[in-house]
Chain A
Amino acid sequence: DGGITQSPKYLFRKEGQNVTLSCEQNLNHDAMYWYRQDPGQGLRLIYYSQIVNDFQKGDIAEGYSVSREKKESFPLTVTSAQKNPTAFYLCATLPNGGSTDTQYFGPGTRLTVL
């Protein structure tokens, strides 16, 4: 069963704690992306990775970190430096063809910081 898995679906953390969101794919796609979604603001790019062991900052990278040690996995850590971490986080992948291809999205993780 191919696709993108994000776990958990809902995540609760206390303020000041770091938390890591999982994104796993078995589509054999090279590129992976993390977006943050807030009501009325659409999706904003946090980080992206086009190849293993390489990643770039997106528009709102402050307070976040990522790693890309395996092609299948692109975990996102929300650190205590992120001022307002409560949001819906979406992971996406892109087939290896490039800019005309479709990004495929995972089901998302809703993070609530108490």
Chain B
Amino acid sequence: EVQLLESGGGLVQPGGSLRLSCAASGFTFSNYAMNWVRQAPGKGLEWVSAITGSGGHTYYAISVRGRFTISRDNSKNTLYLQINSLRAEDTAVYYCAPLGYCAGDTCLDFHSWGQGTLVTVSS
């Protein structure tokens, strides 16, 4: 059974930092590109960052470029997001997900994301 478990969120002051983690299980983690997606309170889904299965390529939304760093440890089946210089507008629930759902011709077979981790930026 595929499971995604996000952690590391919390209340942080503007300008502060956090490191989010996403523990994955139930699939060959290293084969799949992974993403962070966030949802501000009462708002829609916003893609934040992506990383290829090997970790060799990373991609960022313009709104977080230079402040957020995505990484992964395939030996631990874990995805990370280092978030620095936090702003009030970064307040959101952060989810990890294999948005592409497939690695080549091999596709996952699950439909539930993790529950996400809440980041609140406030003084």
Q: Are A and B part of the same complex?
A: no
Residues of B in contact with A (beta carbons under 8 Å apart): none
